[in-house]
Amino acid sequence: MGQPDEVAARAVATADLPVAAPPPSEHLREGPDGARPSGRSAARRALAVRLGLMAVPVTFFALFFGYPVATIVGRGLREDGRWQFGRAAEVLTSPDTLDVLWFTVWQAAASTALTLLVALPGAYALARFDFPGKRLLRAVVTVPFVLPTVVVGSAFLALVGRGGVLDEAWGLRLDTSVWAILLAHVFFNYAVVVRTVGGLWSQLDPRQEEAARVLGAGRFTAWRRITLPALVPAVAAAALMVFLFTFTSFGVIQVLGGARYATLEVEIYRQTAQFLDLPTAAVLSLLQLAAVAAMLAVHAWTVRRRESALRLVAAEHAARRPRGVGQWAFLWSQLLIVAVLLVLPLAVLVERSLSAPGGYGLAFYRALAEQADASSAFVVPPLEAVGNSLAYAAVATLIAVAVGTLAAAALTRRAGPLVRGFDALLMLPLGVSAVTVGFGFLITLDEPPLDLRSSWILVPLAQALVGVPFVVRTMLPVLRAVDERLREAAAVLGASPWRAWREVDLPLVSRAGLIAAGFAFAVSLGEFGATVFIARPDSPTLPVAVARLLGRAGEYNYGMAMALSTILMLVCAGVLLLLERVRVNRSGEF
Amino acid sequence: MKRTTATAVSVVLGSCLLAACGTDGGGGSDGGGSVTLVTHQSFEVSKDVLDAFTEKSGVKVRVLRADDAGAAVNQAILSKGNPQGDVFFGVDNALLSKALDAGIFTPHKAEGLSEIPRQLQLDAEKNRVTPIDHGDVCVNYDRAYFERKKLAPPKTLDDLVKPEYKDMLVVQNAATSSPGLAFLLASVGAYGEDGWQDYWKKLKANGVAMVDGWEQAYNDRFTGSASGRAKGDRPLVVSYASSPPAEVHYGEDKKPAKAPTGVSTGTCFRQIEFAGLLEGAKNPEGGKALLDFLAGEEFQKDLPLNMWVHPARADVELPEVFTRYGAEIEKPHAVAPEDIEANREQWVKQWASLMR
């Protein structure tokens, strides 16, 4: 039964399609290099171009990541002018540290597996099917990313905790178990998978799979032999990002885990921000870094060899309306998952923002508007907060896309250890504790000309640190899938490298670029990472305003916090929808 | 074509921003016209009050807010000698010794100090810090709940371990939450260094619940808050003595007979917040003026309804909502700042392993 399937699929895979093209670098290496002096100078020029492209990202990361982190870790390890190796050994061998490390690793692995399990079918549905409201859905799944953890945690507890939906229906409570943490991680990271994998999936030419089917392969075999291999780099990239995010999980663990569970990130936060025990924090930071570096090494080793050129088409050509009962049922099942897991908690927030004293209404929204006029400086005018948030996020996105695109362009062609090291380096900001970065800023960016501690730019810079890895991870699989022969053809026809990039790479990668930009924007709007640990000048953003309101007693404070959270959701969804629209308008350029 | 232009523009803009940040970044406190106040997220002041200060002194105030008080103090210690600003506000008695030992403050005897009661002046000889406000962390109770159950609400720490209050209290994580730590310190103050762990064992046996922060405790679990009324399960919560007035002030009914929540007056720990001139301030004169302003009548009057704490000055009247619905705490539990500094980390660790 399986045999003809396999044969058919292999027939497609080995047919003269780009899928089967040998990896470009080897392709080039086959040529008799020494025989052509011009080839050598071209190679030298290519190296120069690559180094030039890398200059900006390298400077960015060295200045705003490497230097601050190295300085604060160094200060911890060398307290009082002596190396604290005894202290380091003590921390490393303490059973508490091992407990924390074990929990950090396993919950990250479990969260990643669970997220992939839930989100991959969703990515497929969004990539391959055309249905009304698809764009809205794609924006909605990204909304969790921008919401403050305190707000989301509270909504989550309302659903899975005591007195929640599950509790009332089946007496099932998850707030006391680790399941609440895992589910919250799926909630936050669903969009990572849908966006990273979906970006490539929606551009894979469906005709290859169809050809395999025509030749007799079963649906599953065709998928396994044709689509899956093509998707591996993107899936691995998504898995890596989800893993890094959950590995360094902070807010979710604190809000839903109480004091029972702690990740390395939580422990580093406590040692740094609460106790200022820099030696312990430094050792834990290095431990976290080592774990992340090992993870990145495994990732690089397993993925690199599987990347190959793919035939990419416009997403609009790949998606079609579902056909038959099976496909509709599948689509509906995915929509149901999204509704229960993602939309329901969001709906709880909206419901709370509307449940004013004495029945549903807009009282809290009105209060926001009214209090803004009052002389009390406490309530931030909502429009001002929206403006601040948008401005910060726009600047951060700009930085992230600029730096990320340059990095991705430099990394497109696989080559020596230099490039590979650079590739891994770009992911590190997701794996290093935010409090380490934030406190590092404090003691490094403190001298002119780089005294940025009281400057507004520090906030978008910190946000961009988290955004760049997204941009690179989303664009790189697509860039590497671009058939090298297209670029060669452009060069043969006389195009300069810049022109070839503009005409060949850019049109194919711009879609992924917009997806990446949307994500960088959402990450910035939600103020991930080090921004929490930076003392900020007085231009409160939406998340900051929500946090301030939530920190006070009183019905109206809580209600206004919920109303502002709802506004934050709408702003995020609105901007993402706008980006989706940009994409559609330009699809004709494919 | 259009897209190429857009890409080019964004690359250029991005690099401009990177380049520009070097030049406009240093404008923190370049003497003369502006002074920078470093503080935590809860700092608030009315705009007109701050404007009046600027008008009178000619000094413009920039406010830099760090996350919470603990992180803010540690950041100030870390940047000692090259501070982020000129004045720091928000170091409390639990963190005072740490900040003073680190030597981050320069003495300044603020105008109006004579109006501040002696017992708040914990650095009276050297005046490195000036007390600005105080507030009490106390157990709050849901008035309706206890009326419904015809049960007298608890008054003291001892009451909380009695069987009639089983499974009623929710507290915060002392390792990460400021009221959580204050409540732990209240128990240390009441039962001594040797007795507090026994007290917490009894609390645990009596079903105390623990959550991470004040927000989860008060908004999600406490049945006395508007949001907790539907889903909350705990009629007792560690909060502030000023929470009942805040419930009224930010509630629908502005003139109820009684606040919806009450304060267990024998469960309190007093937090005193101080401000000081930072060592190495770029604008020390402006900083001193700002300190005088913080201890001055106008700011002190403005304090209660913005930060929900009591002014340090004795000659300032409290707003009506405080006097009507608030509780006067006569004898809060206390621990000396030096003792807190010497033992805080160890106490928190012991507490955490007790609560596990």
Between B19 and A276, whose confidence is greater? A276
What number is the average pLDDT over the span A75-95?
A: 83
Inter-chain touch A150–B41, beta carbons under 8 Å: no
DSSP string covering A96-141, please?
HHHHHHHHHHHHHHHHHHHHHHHHHHHHHHHHHB--TTHHHHHHHH
Q: What pLDDT, on a 0 to 100 scale, did the predictor assign at position A70?
A: 94
Lowest-pLDDT range of A44-48, A99-103, A472-476: A44-48
In the numeric block, which tokens belong to residue B233? 């399960």
β-bridge mates for residue B65, sequence order: A536, B39
In the numeric block, which tokens belong to residue B280? 């190495």
Measured between beta carbons, the chain B residues lying within 8 angstroms of A554 are 226, 246-247, 249-251
User: Which residue is associated with the tokens 């009639």?
Assistant: B164
Asked if A79 and A448 count as a contact pair (C-beta separation under 8 A), the reply is: no
Using CA atoms of A270, A276, A277, A278 in order, give the dihedral in degrees to the nearest 10.
Answer: 110
What number is the average pLDDT over the span A136-160?
A: 82
Measured between beta carbons, the chain B residues lying within 8 angstroms of A558 are 219, 225-227
A106-119 confidence digits (pLDDT tens): 999 999 999 999 99
Mean pLDDT of chain B: 89
pTM: 0.85
Q: What pLDDT, on a 0 to 100 scale, did the predictor assign at position B276?
A: 97
User: What confidence category does residue A177 fall into, taking pLDDT thresholds of 50, 70 and 90?
Assistant: confident
Inter-chain touch A443–B27, beta carbons under 8 Å: no
Q: What pLDDT, on a 0 to 100 scale, did the predictor assign at position A495?
A: 86
Phi, psi of B239 (to 5 degrees): -145, -145
Inter-chain touch B44–A378, beta carbons under 8 Å: yes
Inter-chain touch B356–A162, beta carbons under 8 Å: no
Amino acid identity at A211: A
Q: ipTM score here?
A: 0.86
Rg of chain A (C-alpha set) = 25
CA nearest to B18, candidates A541, A394, A395: A395
**Fold (topology level) of B30-134+272-311:** D-Maltodextrin-Binding Protein; domain 2 (3.40.190)
What gap in Å lies between CA B287 and CA B275, rounded to an integer?
A: 11
CA nearest to A469, candidates A506, A509, A523, A510: A523
What gap in Å lies between CA A455 and CA B333, rounded to an integer?
A: 41
Residue A206, pLDDT above cutoff 90: no
Phi, psi of A357 (to 5 degrees): -55, 130
Closest CA of chain A from B50, distance in Å: 10
What gap in Å lies between CA A207 and CA A205, rounded to an integer?
A: 5
Highest mean pLDDT among A498-507, A509-518, A555-564, B275-284: B275-284
CATH architecture of B136-271+329-355: 3-Layer(aba) Sandwich (3.40)
Q: Which residues, in sequence order, are CB contacts of A426 under 8 Å at separation 6+?
A: A57, A61, A407, A468, A469, A472
Between A17 and A433, whose confidence is greater? A433
In this structure, the strands spanning B169-172 and B105-106 are: unpaired
- Is residue B52 within 8 angstroms of chain A, CB to CB? no
Inter-chain touch A439–B78, beta carbons under 8 Å: yes
- Domain span at residue A149? 46-589
Residue A71 within any structural domain of the chain: yes
In the numeric block, which tokens belong to residue A304? 């690199």
Inter-chain touch B70–A273, beta carbons under 8 Å: yes
What number is the average pLDDT over the span A472-481?
A: 80
What gap in Å lies between CA A148 and CA A525, rounded to an integer?
A: 10
Residue A571 within any structural domain of the chain: yes
Helix (H) or strand (E) holding A504: none
Q: Which of B89, B211, B253 to mutate to test the interface with A (most CBs of A within 10 A)?
A: B211
Q: What is the DSSP letter of B61?
A: E
Measured between beta carbons, the chain B residues lying within 8 angstroms of A378 are 44, 306
- CATH number of A217's domain: 1.10.3720.10
Q: What is the DSSP letter of A81?
A: G
A208-263 confidence digits (pLDDT tens): 888 888 998 888 888 888 888 888 888 988 898 899 989 998 888 888 876 678 89
Total number of domains in chain A: 1
User: Which residue is associated with the tokens 């955490």?
Assistant: B352
Phi/psi-derived region of residue A320, left when phi > 0, alpha when psi is between -120 and 50, beta in every other case: beta
- Chain A residue whose CA is closest to B251: A555
Residue A34 within any structural domain of the chain: no
Q: Which residues, in sequence order, are CB contacts of A529 under 8 Å at separation 6+?
A: A429, A434, A437, A462, A463, A465, A466, A523
Residue A10 within any structural domain of the chain: no
Q: How many CB atoms are closer than 10 A to CB A431?
A: 22
CA nearest to A416, candidates A304, A289, A291: A304
What number is the average pLDDT over the span B151-171?
A: 97
CB < 8 Å from A in window 94-153 of B: 98
Q: Which of B2, B11, B21, B49 to mutate to test the interface with A (most CBs of A within 10 A)?
A: B21
CA nearest to B211, candidates A257, A267, A143: A257
What number is the average pLDDT over the span B305-327?
A: 93
Residue ranges matching CATH 3.40.190.10 in chain B: 30-134+272-311, 136-271+329-355
Inter-chain touch A451–B239, beta carbons under 8 Å: no
Residue B350, pLDDT above cutoff 80: yes
- Chain A residue whose CA is closest to B304: A376
Question: Within a 13 Å sphere around the CA of A533, how many CA atoms are in the beta-carbon half?
Answer: 24
User: Which residue is associated with the tokens 């492209």?
Assistant: A53
Q: Maximum Cα–Cα distance for chain A, whole Å? A: 86
Residue A64 within any structural domain of the chain: yes
User: What confidence category does residue B308 fall into, taking pLDDT thresholds of 50, 70 and 90?
Assistant: very high
Lowest-pLDDT range of A119-128, A241-250, A373-382, B240-249: A373-382
Q: Which residues, in sequence order, are CB contacts of A519 under 8 Å at separation 6+?
A: A142, A145, A191, A192, A195, A467, A470, A471, A474
